[in-house]
Chain A
Amino acid sequence: MSPRPLRLRKVSNPPVISGFKPYGVKNNNGNAEAVFLHFEEYEALRLCDYELLNHHQASLITEVSRPTLTRIYARARQKLAEAFVMGKQIIIEGGKIYFDNRWFVCNTCGCYFNNPDKQEEVTGCPLCGSKSFSGINDVIYESEESAPRYSALCICPECGYEQDHHSGKSCKAEICPGCGHYMIRKDPVPIKTSTKKEKHESSDHQHGK
């Protein structure tokens, strides 16, 4: 059986350079070799180390799972380290990716559109000319910033007592002050589905207008 095909990774923008070359090489024999850094690895580095997002936030932007993003990121650092230590040049190319040049949603007619020319700013909806539109990436990003990853509540299965979850501390280690039972997490809701719901609700709302 062939393995499951790779999911396409979303890359916001192509890098401004196509690679790096070492200079001042001490022994001149390992010069021809190069490390091929894939676009998705560049993007993972950019999101995690430049934009300082955590792996979960970065995985939402690149549209892969969190473990996959962590693997891509680990590979990127491994390749960079190899290039630094061995004095190899870095060439950024390849990888299973597609470039996302930001999508927008019009608040008047509810259509989605992209901006094919990155040099020009979007001034209005291309369909109805309305000035009221918002970037789709921004919406997801903002809700990601404000909302925690899971609904952070611990609940007692015996008496139903709820309390705020302390991040980093297991709910099962907490003891209900009412009945002394061990607590559990209240319905964990991954943020991914909740943002999708928000999006649908907002688009329905626009249709209603």
Chain B
Amino acid sequence: MRVAITSTGNSLVSNLDQRFGRCTYFIIYDTESKETEYIPNPNKDVQEGAGPASVQLLASHDVKKIISGEFGIKIKSLLESLKIQMIILKESEKTIREIINMLNQ
């Protein structure tokens, strides 16, 4: 299963980005093959509609779960219809490596 994590940078020591639509990087982690993929967010500086555009990007990568600090009201209904699970983690100090370790438990 593929899990998307919003990140402030493109390494495993970067922190979790508390925003979803305008995060710096998306990290896609495959729980079976243990591979990570880094995608720079093209919607980072968009004025409007960053959330839905990011959802579209992640849906095209066949993601089943998204871990972020927050999800906007436009996105929640969209993700529900796409049957993508939202996981809200309020601890911004957590690094991507720690989150991946939690997923593997």
Contact = CB atoms under 8 A, between A and B. Distances in A.
Contact of A127 (B80, B83, B99): B99
B73 A110 contact: no
A150 B3 CA distance: 44
A110 B99 CA distance: 13
Interface residues of B, number: 20
B85 A110 contact: no
A110 B73 CA distance: 21
Given A98-B77, A99-B77, A126-B65, A113 B88 contact: yes
Interface string A87-101: 000000000001101
Contacts of A207: 91
B65 A98 contact: no
B91 A116 contact: no
Interface in A1-41: 8
Interface in B56-105: 65, 67, 73, 76-77, 79-80, 83-91, 99, 102-103, 105
Residue among A112, A115, A126, A128 having the largest count of chain B Cβ atoms under 10 Å: A126
> Main SS of the interface on chain B?
mixed
A163 interface: no
Contacts of A99: 77, 80
Contact of A126 (B76, B80, B85): B85
Nearest to B102: A128
A113 B86 contact: yes
Contacts of B87: 111-113, 126-127
Nearest to B73: A8
A67 interface: no
10 contacts: A98-B77, A110-B89, A112-B87, A112-B88, A115-B85, A116-B80, A126-B65, A127-B87, A127-B103, A128-B102
Interface of B: 65, 67, 73, 76-77, 79-80, 83-91, 99, 102-103, 105
Interface of A: 8, 98-99, 101, 109-117, 126-129, 203, 207
